[in-house]
Amino acid sequence: MASVIYHPEYRRYDFGEDHPFTPARLACLMDLLASLGYPISAVEPPVASREEILTVHGEAYVAAVEALDRGESEAGAMEHGLGTPDNPIFPGMDLAARWLVGGTLHGARLIADGADTRVLQLGGGLHHAARAKAAGFCLYNDLAVAIQEFVSRGWYVAYLDIDLHHGDGVQSLFYESDHVLTVSLHESGYYLYPGTGHIHELGSGSGRGMKINIPLEPFTEGDDYLEAFDAVVPQALSWFSPRVLVVQAGADGHFADPMGDLALTTRTYQALYTRILDLAARHTEGRVLFTLGGGYAPAVVPRVWALLYLTLMDLPVPERLPEDWMVKWAHVLGPGAIATLHDPDPPYPAFAGGEERRRRNRNTVSRLLDSLSRYWF
Amino acid sequence: MLVREIMKTPVTTISPDTTFLEACKLLQEKGIRHLPVMENGILAGVITDRDVRFATSALCPSPQQGSDPVRSAMSASVVTADPSDPIEEAARVMRAQKIGCLPVVEDRSVVGIITNMDLLDALLRLAGVYDSTGRLEVSLDDVPGELARLTSFFGHRNVNIRSVLTYPNGQGLIRTVLRVDTNQTLPLAEALREAQFTVLWPMPKPWLR
Ligand SMILES: [Zn+2]
């Protein structure tokens, strides 16, 4: 069982029609869970205050977001990453982003106060936002604010990022911190945004060796992904001994996602969630905070995150999707949406190049472990 | 990009009478590999960490002492750059002469220095890798107007191009590498294909082909 955090105000985080990071993803998910017979009973968090945002973001940046929000001059918007196709300016964006931060922060406090160990924040995961810049659909870094809350209480935090993209914002905000281990698995940045997340980004100062990146080849399939995960993550947690796990559970690594080229399936995701819960049981007395994240295939995201919910709540996984839900959301799911919670087996036709991808991924992991061995003891 | 934009200042220099020991200490302390040698305010040579180590090594046919002056070991004919030289010109000279640095000279005084490291930094800046970007590779016909057609494609979508590199790909084609300020490179690649561009990367998903 887990505490679920959600607030209807999350839906205000909306960059407008045709933007891929749409709140419809959430509405569709919540409705699916209700149709499956598991209506969400969520804790409603308070909105994050300006001061709480300032624990990780610069004053000038927050002031710029507020000014642009009020419709004031757009001069300087670009330098803060705003007014771009990725991060369009919309009225109410400051408050909307603070609601998402409020949820993740509230989740952190539930855990830090000992009220619960397992928390699912049904939103957030804005891992690209930097100290003074919006990036990749992310205005305020809710994950970093939550991590900072733990750190301010002296906790050691392990951040695990299974989004398709590199968790660059969280990594950079804690690059020198020896209280925060970050581990990001992602499609290699040779082509994919944001272009970072190489194995040699290891942290600096006393945080050296505590920032870990596992960049995987485009078209990497589930088994190879899990192999890389197993080769690095359990060891890293054993070495670091965190008190809590914070997980960005983006779903855009799925093979049908339009933003990237990993080839994970619903079964990969379920295996990942189970592994993460096992790791939490072993290393953090079960303390784990999950957020959502990227995920842009309308017919996939609700299924993947429903699996996340069901796994975290220790509920059985039904085989079929409810018909009424399929009908109600047909316009969003698109033509040919499958009627099962899991992907078909096989999920897609076999394709070439597996051996070379596996060789490259294994070499990446082996070179990463070699460089980490200098810091681990 | 011009030499003045990437050159390092101020420049640590020595005189021909500086001893090997002093030169060695300077190289170590400053973490540098090249020392311009000045005599009467004018560039008289360059000595590198390799010159210093070899001249004082037992493997040298006539090894120098630490207390000897560096004059005998410096390269006296120095290739230099002007601050307004384009960096690719500086790179071409350094590559042709197989040298690791160019003192930058203006009015006979040394106003800066560039090394091969500075050129690597410049390459990274030119490639736009310091920004959060996605990368696209497009093959263009090597004819006028093609690059313009490509860049206006992005302009119309309000997508900011952070860098463009092109190089000939043979067979009348130009390979163009763009770094664009967006998370949405895959949808962009699809739209480019619809607009009849040859996108080399990102590729279509292999299981959809
Ligand atoms: Zn993502």
CATH number at residue B167: 3.30.70.260
Tell me if residue B182 falls in helix, strand or coil.
coil
Indicate the pLDDT class of residue A377, thresholds 50, 70 and 90. low
Q: Do A260 and B186 touch (CB under 8 A)?
A: yes
ipTM: 0.81
Give CA–CA dist B100/B189, Å, rounded: 40
**Domain range summary for chain A, segments of one domain joined by +:** 3-376
Q: What is the pLDDT of residues B153-205, one digit of tens each?
A: 999 999 999 999 999 988 899 999 999 989 899 999 999 999 999 999 999 99
Q: Which of A136, A261, A353 sits opposite B132 (nearest CB)?
A: A136
In tens, the pLDDT along B1-23 reads 999 999 999 999 999 999 999 99
Peptide bond into A46 cis (omega under 30): no
CATH at residue B45: 3.10.580.10
Judged by CB atoms closer than 8 Å, whether chains meet at A192 and B185 is answered as yes
- pLDDT over threshold 80, residue A363: yes
> Whole-angstrom Cα distance, residue A79 to residue A273?
37
In sequence order, what are the beta bridge partners of A135? Answer: A138
Residues B178 and B87 in one domain: no
Q: What is the dihedral of CA A176, A177, A178, A184, to 10 degrees?
A: -90
When CB atoms are compared, the residue of A193, A219, A348 closest to B183 is A193
Residues in A closer than 8 angstroms to B158, CB to CB, are 84-85
B157 & B79 share domain: no
What's the rounded Cα separation, in Å, for the pair A112 and A312?
A: 19
What are B85's two structure tokens? Answer: 């030289």
Q: How far is residue A65's CA from residue A82's CA, in Å, rounded to a whole number? A: 8
B103 and B142 belong to one structural domain? no
Phi/psi at A58 (nearest 5 deg)? -75, 150
The pTM (predicted TM-score) of the whole model is 0.90
What is the tens place of the pLDDT at every residue in B30-85? 999 999 999 999 999 999 999 999 999 999 999 999 999 999 999 998 999 999 99
Do B26 and B78 lie in a common domain?
A: yes
3-state SS, residue A148: helix
Q: Provide the shortest C-alpha distance from residue B56 to chain A (in Å).
A: 34
* Helix or strand run (H / E) with residue B165: strand B161-170
Is residue B113 located within the same domain as residue B160? no
CA nearest A88 in B: which residue?
A: B158
Strands of chain A (E only): list them.
3-5, 118-121, 157-161, 180-187, 211-216, 244-248, 288-291
Pick the CATH number of A3-376 from 3.40.50.300, 3.30.70.890, 3.40.50.720, 3.40.800.20: 3.40.800.20
Query: For chain A, what's the residue count?
Result: 377
Which range scores top for mean pLDDT: A48-57, A64-73, A75-84? A48-57
Res. B130 pLDDT band, cuts 50 70 90: confident
Query: Which residues from chain B sit within 8 angstroms of residue A349, using beta carbons?
Result: 207
Same domain, B103 and B147: no
Nearest CA to CA, how far is A325 from chain B (Å)? 27
Is the Cβ pair B206, A352 closer than 8 Å? yes
Cβ–Cβ below 8 Å for A259 and B184 = yes
Q: Nearest by CB to A261, from B131, B181, B205: name it.
A: B205
The answer to whether residues A107 and A150 touch, using CB atoms and an 8 Å cutoff, is no
Report which of A243, A253, A199 is spatially closest to residue A221, judged by C-alpha positions: A253
Q: Are residues B20 and B111 in the same domain?
A: yes
**Residue A178 pLDDT > 70, yes or no?**
yes
Query: Which of B105, B123, B141 is at the close of a domain?
Result: B123
Ion ligand 1 — residues with CB < 5 Å: A 163-165, 250, 252, 294
Residue B136's domain spans which residues?
132-208
Phi, psi angles (nearest 5°) of residue A108: -60, -40
Q: B147, B161 in Cβ contact below 8 A?
A: no
**Per 3-state DSSP, what percentage of chain B is helix, strand, and coil (rounded to 5)?**
35, 30, 35
Tell me: do B10 and B53 sit in the same domain. Answer: yes
Q: Evaluate whether A192 touches B185 at the Cβ level (below 8 Å).
A: yes
Interface residues of B toward A, Cβ cutoff 8 Å, are 129, 131-137, 157-160, 179, 181-187, 201-203, 205-207, 209
Residues B102 and B65 in one domain: yes
A260 contacts in B (CB within 8 Å)? 186
For an interface test with A, give the residue of B132, B179, B208 to mutate (most A CBs within 10 A).
B132
Q: B173: Cβ–Cβ under 8 A, 6 or more apart, which residues?
A: B139, B140, B141, B142
Which of A193, A201, A221, A254 to probe the B interface (max B CBs under 10 A)?
A193
Cβ proximity of B178 and B161 under 8 Å: yes
Q: Answer yes or no: is pLDDT of B141 > 90.
A: yes
Instruction: Work out how many domains chain B is built from and give that number.
Output: 2
Q: Which residue is associated with the tokens 């080849």?
A: A217
* Whether residue B169 sits in one domain with residue B199: yes
Q: Return phi, psi of residue B31, to 5°.
A: 65, 40
- Distance CA(B205)–CA(A175), nearest Å, equals 34
Pair A314, A38: CB distance under 8 Å: no
A156-to-A146, A149, A151, A174, A284 alpha-carbon distances in Å: 12, 11, 7, 12, 10
Tell me, in angstroms, the distance from the centre of ligand 1 to residue A293's CA. Answer: 7
Does the N-terminal peptide bond of residue B168 adopt cis geometry, omega within 30 degrees of 0? no
**Rounded to whole angstroms, how far apart are CA atoms A299 and A28?**
10
Q: How many CB pairs under 8 A join A and B?
A: 81
pLDDT per position as a tens digit, A110-128: 999 999 999 999 999 999 9
pLDDT > 80? residue A68: yes
Domain boundary among B91, B123, B155: B123
Query: Which of B100, B123, B146 is the endpoint of a domain?
Result: B123
Shared domain check, B89 and B9: yes
- Phi, psi of A246, deg, nearest 5: -120, 125
How confident is the model over A191-235, as pLDDT tens digits? 899 999 999 999 999 999 999 999 999 999 999 999 999 999 999
B10 and B94: one domain?
Answer: yes
Residue A350 burial class via C-beta count within 10 angstroms: exposed 0-12, middle 13-18, buried 19 and up? exposed
What's the confidence (pLDDT) of residue B131? 78
